Amino acid sequence: MKRKKRHSKKPGQFPIFVILAVALVGAIAAIILLLPSGPYECDTEYCFAERANECKPTIFWNQIENATIQYEITDQCVLVKTIIDFPATEEPEIRDALLGKNMTCYYEEDLFLIDHLETLKGVFEDCEGELKVIIEYLES
């Protein structure tokens, strides 16, 4: 009887499918790393307003009346305004009432108003949420 020859691999040789799998995983990882990881961050009101008018996901922090406000645009032409810091010198009741509260404002593409960024209140016509209710209460 004849013996069948066994194919022996030389040390360091890998099957082609292993090489292709590693290359595919590497390509996928590179694509994931190159994708944006969240909303674009603006440093100025003008940058934010420009991107907001295009309804591009964007985030911006601003100081108004000693409060730090985070503004975030979704890709659906929605502005979310959140009080993320309030001065410790403010009355505790007011500080506690406003801190962490937000309101959602709706607008149409190319019609974002910079007025949303210039005061704590902003433009109220198309807004809703706890922050709007609290500001209206404090103003009454």
Q: 86-133: per-residue pLDDT in tens?
A: 888 888 888 888 899 999 999 899 998 888 788 777 776 788 999 999
Closest alpha carbon to 71 in 35, 39, 36: 39
124 versus 51: the higher-pLDDT residue is 51
Average pLDDT over residues 60-89: 90
Q: Give the Cα-Cα-Cα angle 94, 96, 100 (nearest 5 degrees).
A: 115
- Give the pLDDT of residue 38: 74
pLDDT tops 60 at residue 8: no
* Least confident among 15-29, 65-79, 126-140: 15-29
Rounded CA gap, 112 and 39, in Å? 17
Q: Find the mean pLDDT for residues 47-75.
A: 92
The token pair that represents 42 in the structure block: 């603006």
pTM value is 0.70
